Amino acid sequence: MPYVPPRHPKSDRVQTGVHFRPGETPPDLWRLIVLDVVPGAAASDVADALGEIWQLLTELSQGRVRELGPYGDGSAGAFVPDGSLAFVLGYGARLFGPRAGGAPLIDAAARPGALPAHYPAGNMAPFPALHWRDDAAAGRAQRDIAVQLTADTELALARAVLDIAELIRTASLPLRLRAMFDGFGRDDRRSWIGFHDAINTLSAADRREAIIIERNAASGWTEGGTYMVFLRVVVDIGRWRDLDVPAQEAVVGRTKLHGVPLAGIDRTRDGRIETTPDLACPFRTTGPDGRRDPEACREPDFAHDPRLAASHVGRASPHWSRARIYRQGYEFLEVGTDGRPVVGLNFVAFVKSPDEVHRLLAEKDGFGDCNFGGGVDGIPSPPLLSLSAAGVYVAPAIPDEGERFPGECLFMTETVA
């Protein structure tokens, strides 16, 4: 039997590929493709193209591959493993702006006020303490349209990208594939810096409030959807590994081995850093191997110690920071222009407003004065992170009956409300 995507209540209209509902966990394989509309394309032709792509992805998520059927003799064709493929369709601010060689494709008045026009390129930093990598092609992720793909198998992702590209070619769709970014989840649940990652994330109960866009008069078409913020963050792994483990723990705010929050950070007489784990942390063992479970102890005690509050965990904590973000992270490894490995994280955030991410990365209590963590009372604060790509997209709610894809109303000739 083919896979049938789950149906959700009408009040729950966020695209299925966001993976925010209770009991859902994002798959470990991720890919983002970004596309542009060709100059001079009519809005109706773009709508037809997006309808075709949405239908193609829906079929692939059901294990239906067009290359294998249906056939001219009336047979239904073959079903293949779907790999738990899920997807999110989003629109960037460029789509609402002036178009080369013609009138605007979409009425600029329909652009949500929270959707930033772009991340500044060149020497301008998108955030106070997080700057572009020297060799970054800053605009390559901020395009007209984005499609996020997640799956349990590499084949499911690769097949989706190839079939989209072939559909564009064979049907002469007015779209062009501009860039592709990939990433993966680690089965040890750590990041490239060696620490447990995504320990202190929003609970399932908090995610809905954090991500779903509420109705507003200026852009009612976004109601029930969400914003997708994408940052491809490069980690200077050599600089990080030059720090000893206590210094790393002080910067992060947890022990490296077990992920236990710190109760204190001190310096010895000879200037070395010493960290003290929170012995009251109720970490528990899981399984016969006795491995400790960092999920059991999420929150360090920041209030009494500014050094803990300045750690990465302290700055990013949803209980300490005012920003409310449902974050998903996918590691990447690529080869740089100098032939050396480049490692980092695809930071993907789903929020009801991109301002939530900007608040976290721009305000002093977050990362506005610090690239990663530390920087108080002699705790090191190495500039570990830089951006190689970034983009913001609004992902409308799943289609209502009669709509072919999310946001189809944008491409109507009538004014969008």
Q: What domains are there in the chain, each with its CATH number?
A: 16-65+79-120+138-225+397-411 (3.30.70.1030), 237-391 (no CATH)
Which DSSP symbol is given to 209?
A: H
pLDDT tens digit at each of 417 positions of the chain: 333 444 455 568 999 999 999 888 899 999 999 999 999 999 999 999 999 999 999 999 999 999 887 755 566 778 899 999 999 999 998 898 887 766 778 888 889 888 876 666 555 567 878 888 877 765 678 899 999 999 999 999 999 999 999 999 999 999 999 999 999 999 999 999 999 886 556 777 789 889 999 876 557 899 999 999 999 999 999 999 999 999 999 999 999 998 888 988 888 888 899 998 887 765 544 434 445 555 545 555 566 788 888 888 888 775 545 568 899 999 999 998 889 999 999 999 999 999 888 888 887 667 877 888 887 877 888 889 999 999 999 999 998 888 999 999 999 854 444
- Contacts of the segment 341-345: beta carbons below 8 A, 24+ positions apart: 342/234, 342/388, 343/192, 343/234, 343/235, 343/237, 344/192, 344/232, 344/233, 344/234, 344/235, 344/385, 344/388, 345/183, 345/191, 345/192, 345/232, 345/233, 345/235
Specify the DSSP element, H or E, that contains 246.
helix 245-252
